[in-house]
Structure 1
């Protein structure tokens, strides 16, 4: 029986401190470990007072006038106080709202005072234009005062314009029976009279009377935007 030669010796280990090879990769389909969560930044502080002041300040000029203006001033001061606590957050909005509220309130007050003054002036002018006419500007005569065949009182006459400009007059009138009881009264439509001229007028009652005679009277002559 023939003897076999011995096997060759194993290869020597690597020299020079070379690290061993990396382990094989994990099989496909494995899950990677979850990432480590990092701490997020803190949310910015909110100055609601400053926002409210700015919104109200804008509304002062849009629709709400001094009501929103006063509230904008109040919230503006509160917003600036809150801004100091928050390191200045919202200070600009609070200041803008305060300024808008103050300016809007002042403008609203000025406009209100102007409206009152103008309304008073217009009322006086309207009263002068439509109030009682100056008797020196006209001459009024009643030429007829009677009851027609249907029982309706009527009167007629003339009015003369004593000025050089055209005038329009309204007559306030009344009809009374012989006992003094009022039958009817009212105001006529405007009667336009040219300057230094005269016109005829007539007035009829819409109330029937059984009296055969009546008293006719023009109680007042009024201007019509003269």
Structure 2
């Protein structure tokens, strides 16, 4: 789904990249909400098989599946979606069922996979939300957004928690839901890359070969 087709405003929630020379990404705290339109193109071809991710190193620390992954929740989610007539994207199912892929994605803010066991009606647009990633301290939550018939999807982010089986939070602000990626794989690729840039600077890890190109595109 393209940003202009989504029923949400578009922004990218992430960490600052000013130390990498990206003026458009000043450090404004743990997370900042940055211009989606200014994000550079991703440096990989994305076809749903995560070939680009399989080539990366696995990690024991800071991986987003460090708290146990999704092996218990995924069968329940798939059953709930099948009963609701919703088709999960193949790429989403592939990643959520493959620990070897999950352990290749690190989070500098200790985010973890927090897969919901069902969908929630989106308070904006005629679609459905499925939570899959959470900030360790509950600052942000990321959701798969499925259109009403499940034919298209995107990734959105918000400060509010939406959970299957729970009553809607009257304090939630639907206008704060932000479109942040055209597909699940596109979100994961950008999330992986920007976190690897952080670890390369903070822990002096090796910078991925594609990161220099990404940073240069962002600068210009």
- How does the TM-score come out when normalised to structure 1? 0.19
Task: Select the structure that is richer in helix.
Answer: 1
Task: Select the structure that is richer in strand.
Answer: 1
Greater relative contact order, per chain length (Cα 8 Å cut-off, separation 6+): 2
Structure number with greater Rg is: 1
- How does the TM-score come out when normalised to structure 2? 0.19
